[in-house]
């Protein structure tokens, strides 16, 4: 964040993460540790294979492009473009810049790439499975103190930008067409449930952050109760914003599908 109050609040959330129980810390470390260069390459390969199995090399390019471009933008911003201004007095791990989150970018770009390449009838199932994982990664980065909440939000924005660019490219090529089939009621129920859950987490996070702030809490002063509340708020907001970002992209593809076999090869 770019204000003293914002940085103090995020630092308080990082201090509060120290109070997470051992099971939460272990799960967070395991999930984040599973994201490696190898696992990313495997995910990109699977995305490409789905596109190729549908006999659409452009879908494969778009899906892999979302993942690769997401990392290029994220690492460039983090390492060269967006240094973290020193607005509050901190030392150690709190000083380094980690915006945007590379792990969250990976999770979200894989989710978006999967939604782009799978057939329409599998999009709802794909969203449910990948969103569960992506939301977990976004929240785990806060639990493990690898990233601040703003890092997660920045990564969500980068991933959404890349997915929208890929969608625009496919639309320009005429690959995206209206879906003319029947309404899938299960997908409507899924959308409502996920939307309610996302709004609930956002409301909870906002409450946990706003109430102490309105009471004039000084987040620059370490306090176990205040810090833990700040951590719980950051955790809830990370879940909520990640889910909302994914649902936004899903909504953009409402009743749209991608052509299957390339007519030039049939």
Helix (H, G, I), strand (E, B) or coil at 2: coil
Helix (H, G, I), strand (E, B) or coil at 86: coil
Total-model pTM: 0.93
- Tell me the DSSP string of 117-141: HS-GGGHHHHHHHHHHHHHHHHHHH
- Under a CB-based contact definition with an 8 Å cutoff, are residues 225 and 233 in contact? no
- Non-local (6+) Cβ contacts of 106 within 8 A are 35, 40, 43, 67, 70, 71, 137
pLDDT tens digits for range 199-249: 999 999 999 999 999 999 999 888 999 999 999 999 999 999 999 999 999
Helix (H, G, I), strand (E, B) or coil at 217: coil
- How does DSSP classify residue 146? S
pLDDT tens digits for range 172-208: 999 999 998 888 889 999 999 999 999 999 999 999 9
- Tell me the DSSP string of 240-266: HHHHHHHHHHHHHTTTEEE--S-GGG-
d(CA 113, CA 76) in angstroms, rounded, equals 21
């Amino acid at each position: 964040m770019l204000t003293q109050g914002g940085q103090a609040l995020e630092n308080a959330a990082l201090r509060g993460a120290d109070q997470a129980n051992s099971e939460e810390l272990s799960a967070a470390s395991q999930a984040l540790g599973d994201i490696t260069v190898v696992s990313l390459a495997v995910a990109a390969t699977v995305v490409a294979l789905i596109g190729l199995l549908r006999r659409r090399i452009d879908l494969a390019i778009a899906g892999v492009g979302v993942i690769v471009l997401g990392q290029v933008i994220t690492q460039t911003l983090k390492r060269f473009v967006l240094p973290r201004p020193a607005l509050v007095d901190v030392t150690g791990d709190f000083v380094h810049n980690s915006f945007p989150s590379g792990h969250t970018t990976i999770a979200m770009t894989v989710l978006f790439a999967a939604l782009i390449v799978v057939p329409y009838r599998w999009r709802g199932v794909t969203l449910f499975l990948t969103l569960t994982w992506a939301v977990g990664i976004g929240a785990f980065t806060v639990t493990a103190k690898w990233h601040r909440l703003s890092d997660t939000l920045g990564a969500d924005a980068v991933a959404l930008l890349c997915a929208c660019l890929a969608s625009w490219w496919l639309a320009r090529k005429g690959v995206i067409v209206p879906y003319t089939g029947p309404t899938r009621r299960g997908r409507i129920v899924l959308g409502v449930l996920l939307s309610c859950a996302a709004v609930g987490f956002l409301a909870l996070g906002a409450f946990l952050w706003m109430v102490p702030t309105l009471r004039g809490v000084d987040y620059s002063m370490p306090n176990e109760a205040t810090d833990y509340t700040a951590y719980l708020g950051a955790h809830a907001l990370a879940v909520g914003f990640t889910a909302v970002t994914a649902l936004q992209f899903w909504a953009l593809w409402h009743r749209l599908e991608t052509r299957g076999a390339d007519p030039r090869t049939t």
